[in-house]
Amino acid sequence: MHLNRSLTKVFLALSSIVVGAVAQSSGQWTTSPFNPPAIPLAVKSPYLNSWLPQGKNASAANEAWATFWNEAGFDDLINTLYAGANVDGVSYRLLGNAEVPNVITAQQLAVVITATRTSFLFKAGAMEINATFLSPIDLNNLTTMSRPTTYLYMTASSTDGKSHEVALYSDVSSRNFIEWGAVPDLADATVGFANDTGFLHLFTAAAQPARYSEINQQSPSATVYLSMQEIEGMTFEVGLDSNVRANFAVNSSLASAAFTQGGEFIDPSLLNSTSGLPTLGMAVDLGDLRESGIVVWTLTLMETSNIQFASVDGIQHRYPYYLSESLSVPNTSANIAGDFDNILLNSISIDNAVRADGLAVSQEYADILALSLRQVMASMEITISVGSDGQWNTSDVMSFMKNMGNLGSSVGINCVDILYSAFPAFMYLNSAFGRYLLEPLFNYQDSPAYTLPYAAQDIGTVYPNATGNPNPHMFGIEESANMIIMTYADILASGDGGLASQHYTLLKSWGSYLLNNSLLPGESYTKRLAPEFAEDNLTNMTNLALKGIIGLGAMAQISDFLGFVEDGSDFRGNAEAMIAKWQQMAVIDDQVFLSYNAQNVTGLLYNLYADKMLELGLVPQSVRIF
């Protein structure tokens, strides 16, 4: 496991969520380490991104539906993740908000959030049931990291020391078919199953998948899988949600006879029904017990091609890295399910390490990390290309980040200021993750298609089409400094200057742009960045100027590392002269204002962090202690 602990404090300091520490109580259950606005459930990719709304007056996990993360909020794209348990003939609802006859709501006792997992503890009769969502973060296995898979696992234990009859159940319904698989209408969907390799897979997909497009911010080329190992007591069913859930509630099992062999299942009356939603359900009757083993379901959203990219050689089709393991979707899904034991152990190790590193700074920092890490890692897709020989080229790895929520200066792909905000997390976990995201940005901008003297905002405006963005913009200083700072951060974390060496001419041109523009950045950026201050006629924002000067200092370090000593000396000398002038104009009576000419509006010098992270020592200590 690779964790760069020298960058821990910087990573933690960049978290943008402001929360209180320690476990909080809703009055009915406790939430640890704190009660956030939303809790991550199935959070593994830009399209597999389900959250449970929380915050003030929060609902329990069995009193609300999970929702897809998008910029419009949490209310308009529901993900119908449902789960239940039967204990001694009584049926309890664990997840979701479906009304099923003779099913009662289990009492939610606790919620625990770690870096890779979210666990719910319920009381169902004389049993306590733990239901945990696990979204793996594997620092050294790109196959696992690239799989858009979340595990739901459950355990049951007696509260009275006696044995009890227990059965467990989970399903996904057609609302997910439409929203996760982006099927415009149920009539356009197909449903099927496969049961080879010792695992059962229920799946749904669009009858005519469309690549490189989105519907409701979801992928119409994706296939949604619910998978489970074929163990004793395991049954399954595809039918209307009310019928499937009622069957489990009454029988503790499902009507597996619906299929006799693997293949496609099409029932027009089911897909076009107005009395319910088609549902994929899987159950396990555990029998009489005091304590169960772990029961595991996997939820996977798979694609066979996910990005088109404007490379220096032209438009290129990019494929999920995990396909290099197997072209057979059921086999790949089986490998996902079969890896659970190792993935659980690795996730516990990651959780413990991240928690310990966070606590070394403060309780609050550790708490923030528990919520934020999955959010960062699930924003990207790890891809490979196909070589001229028709084989997977696993040495050509590029990652593409979706701007979840349309934040920052650009809503595009690999939005540079969003990537910059997340970059310390990648440097802390494994610097290769950051390098894979930088590579397509460099590749595109080092092509004849890009002619601007400063760095691009992104490499495409509509995900998943990374087909370039050559348009002029107002963030030349910001993005150029961001790219240089991230490149040097990667060199520091990895000791590898290969990416910088390959694109040194481009980096040097951005350094020259910073040299000529950073100290007096002008007014256009100000009006775009801070429209609330437009009437104040603000120009030359101090924090932006500082970012550009620090970027220039980082460029000096890159030049030195690559052996361009004369360039390094030139960039460094100019950066030192500019920071001295900046201090004269920006610092007045031990205060730093928003711009040189606004001595009534103070600002937070958040760009100081890059000087500290890169150990440049460019900014005087007298400024850093403000």
As a whole number, mean pLDDT of residues 46-56 equals 92
Q: Which residue has the higher pLDDT, 519 or 259?
A: 519
| Whether the predicted pLDDT of 17 surpasses 50 | no
What pLDDT score was predicted for residue 623? 82
Q: In which band, very low, low, confident or very high, does the pLDDT at 511 lie, cut at 50, 70 and 90?
A: very high
CA 194-199-201 angle, to 5 degrees, is 40
pLDDT in tens, 26-43: 568 999 999 999 999 999
**Of the candidates 126, 8, 9, 113, the residue with the CA atom closest to the CA atom of residue 61:** 113
Tokens encoding 95: 């997840």
What pLDDT score was predicted for residue 15? 34
Q: Which residue has the higher pLDDT, 435 or 410?
A: 435
What pLDDT score was predicted for residue 178? 52
**Of the candidates 222, 212, 415, the residue with the CA atom closest to the CA atom of residue 316:** 212
What pLDDT score was predicted for residue 164? 99
What pLDDT score was predicted for residue 68? 85
CA 365-366-372 angle, to 5 degrees, is 85
What pLDDT score was predicted for residue 259? 47
Of the listed ranges 155-164, 286-295, 519-528, the one predicted with least confidence: 519-528
Of the listed ranges 202-206, 246-250, 345-349, the one predicted with least confidence: 202-206
| Whether the predicted pLDDT of 179 surpasses 60 | no
Q: Which residue has the higher pLDDT, 185 or 401?
A: 401
As a whole number, mean pLDDT of residues 580-600 equals 84
| Number of Cβ atoms within 10 Å of the Cβ of 266 | 12
What pLDDT score was predicted for residue 527? 43
- CA end-to-end distance (rounded Å), the chain: 37
What pLDDT score was predicted for residue 408? 53
What pLDDT score was predicted for residue 271? 61
Q: Which residue has the higher pLDDT, 410 or 251?
A: 251
What pLDDT score was predicted for residue 75? 53
What are the residues facing 124 on neighbouring strands?
A: 127
What pLDDT score was predicted for residue 3? 65
| Whether the predicted pLDDT of 4 surpasses 70 | no
pLDDT in tens, 86-98: 999 999 999 999 9
| Number of Cβ atoms within 10 Å of the Cβ of 406 | 15
Q: In which band, very low, low, confident or very high, does the pLDDT at 500 lie, cut at 50, 70 and 90?
A: very high
Question: Cα Rg for the chain, rounded, in angstroms?
Answer: 26
For the chain, give the percent of residues with pLDDT over 90.
64
Domain-wise residue ranges, the chain: 5-340, 474-626
What pLDDT score was predicted for residue 74? 46
CA 449 to chain centre: 30
Pick the CATH number of 5-340 from 2.60.40, 2.70.98, 2.30.30, 3.30.1490: 2.70.98
Segment holding 454, helix H or strand E: none
Q: What share of the chain is helix, strand, coil (3-state, %, to 5)?
A: 35, 30, 35
Which residues make Cβ contacts (< 8 Å) with residue 474, sequence separation at least 6?
Answer: 524, 525, 528
**Of the candidates 142, 135, 267, the residue with the CA atom closest to the CA atom of residue 192:** 267
What pLDDT score was predicted for residue 8? 40
Burial 428-446 (b: 16+ CB within 10 A, else e): bbbbbbbbbbbbbbbbbbb
Average pLDDT across the chain, whole number = 86
| Whether the predicted pLDDT of 267 surpasses 80 | no
DSSP secondary structure, 149-199, as one string = EEEEEEEEEESSSS-EEEEEEEEEEHHHHHHTS--SSGGGEEEEEE--TTE
| Whether the predicted pLDDT of 13 surpasses 60 | no
What pLDDT score was predicted for residue 238? 85
Residue 42 and residue 68: Cα distance in Å, rounded? 9
